Amino acid sequence: MEKEEKGTFGDFDMAKAMKFLGIPYYHKWRFDITPISPSSFLTTGLRKADKHITVGINEGEQKLYAELVFLETTENHNLRMWQERYIGTEKPFRGRVDFAFTQNQVMLETPYLVVSEAKKEDFEQGWGQCLMAMKTCLMLNEKEGYVFDMFGIVSTGRFWEFGKLTVDNQLYKSEGYTLAQPDVILGILDYMFTLIEQNMTT
């Protein structure tokens, strides 16, 4: 993957992003969710992926796990998943995101709903980039009249963390969850995507 230019999301780790955005601390985000059993498609896909992925070696390979999980979850929601897209134009509110979610539409444009970063193991760097992307999406959404919280996900493929940046600049971040419990991750994503769809109708 080509090296990203300066003045982008990639310049930030979590501490630097929080300081830059004026966020002194984050709240713990806890979920009241219903676990969702994975389909045979996902179970088979994850098993096949295990044969082709070397843990911690190739960041691109790790994304395969996330792709499979996201495809499973979006099946029940009217959302579209975009990969490796550039968002924003003004430094430092610009950069490439590994995954972005919008309504099921032809072009990548507002309202942005969720962004996700795939990292080998560096969650500090992953959350720095994701947080800057979340803030950028909030700003772009607000310019077009879409005022609601922005969601973010950082994942190694096997290990997942979830976040929410509110319109009043409060950050919520979950504990980590492992793909060894896919029903829990699917339940959290369904909960998150349901909140998103509710935001779009209010």
Residue-range domains of the chain with CATH:
9-28+36-201 (3.90.1570)
Please give the model's pTM, rounded to 2 decimal places: 0.93
Looking at residue 57, the DSSP 8-state letter turns out to be T
Q: How close are the terminal C-alpha atoms of the chain, in Å? A: 39
Q: What is the pLDDT of residues 139-188, one digit of tens each?
A: 999 999 999 999 999 999 899 999 999 999 999 999 999 999 999 999 99
Q: What is the pLDDT of residues 74-106, one digit of tens each?
A: 999 999 999 999 999 999 999 999 999 999 999
Rounded-to-integer distance, Cα 167 and Cα 12, Å: 21
Q: What is the pLDDT of residues 120-136, one digit of tens each?
A: 778 999 999 999 999 99
pLDDT at 3 over 70: no
